[in-house]
Amino acid sequence: MTDATHPAAIDHLPIFITAPGSNDVLMNIMAVFLVLAVLGTGLLFLRLHTLPERMAHKSQKLQFEIVAVLGLLALFTHMHIFWVAGLLLALIDLPDFGTPLRRIAGSLEKMAGIEPPPEQEQLSIAHGHGHPAELPNKEAPGQDLPKKELKHA
């Protein structure tokens, strides 16, 4: 076979025109570029999609699980309102009403002389308050005073 070009062709052919039977370099380069572009776009989409969940996780929000579920709902239903709701929920600090109310209840039980139930001790251990035997024995100010002197006027 001869490498003769067509008589109507110009002397210098562009790089993207290949000889019959040889590798098409431009097609190979574009195939690799297309695969990398699809993977990069997918990675960018998933990173953006998990933004509310990562924000809630970094700031140790109480509503982390709700934000995660909203993100999954948005991913599988293609309803963007769930993603927006998760983002707003990740940005907002919800106040913790449980801890102050639990402490108030514990203080009232101490004042009434009622021992806390065993499951409440386990609850305080789970929240990081430690085991009652491991807590330091610090005397409260005025603990050694008689009860009469502790009363306010």
Which backbone phi and psi does 94 adopt, to 5 degrees?
-80, 135
Average pLDDT score over residue span 27-37: 96
CA separation for the pair 137, 146 (Å, rounded): 19
Exposure string of 6-43, with b = 16+ CB inside 10 Å and e = fewer, is: eeeeeeeeeeeeeeeeeeeeeeeeeeeeeeeeeeeeee
Question: What pLDDT sits at residue 113?
Answer: 85
Supply the pLDDT for residue 40.
Answer: 97
Count of residues in the chain: 153
Query: Where along the chain do its domains lie?
Result: 25-91
Provide the CB-side half-sphere exposure for 128 (13 A, CA).
1
So what's the pLDDT on residue 153?
47
Cα–Cα distance, 53 to 67 (Å, whole number): 6
Give the per-residue pLDDT at 2: 57
Which of 80, 47, 79, 76 is closest to 55 using CA atoms? 47
Kindly calculate the radius of gyration of the chain based on its CA atoms and give it in whole angstroms: 35
Higher pLDDT, 19 or 55: 55
Could you read off the pLDDT of 94-131 as tens digits, one per residue? 777 788 888 998 888 888 888 877 765 555 555 555 54
Average pLDDT, the chain: 78
Name the residue among 19, 16, 14 with its Cα closest to residue 2: 19
Share of the chain above pLDDT 70, in %: 75
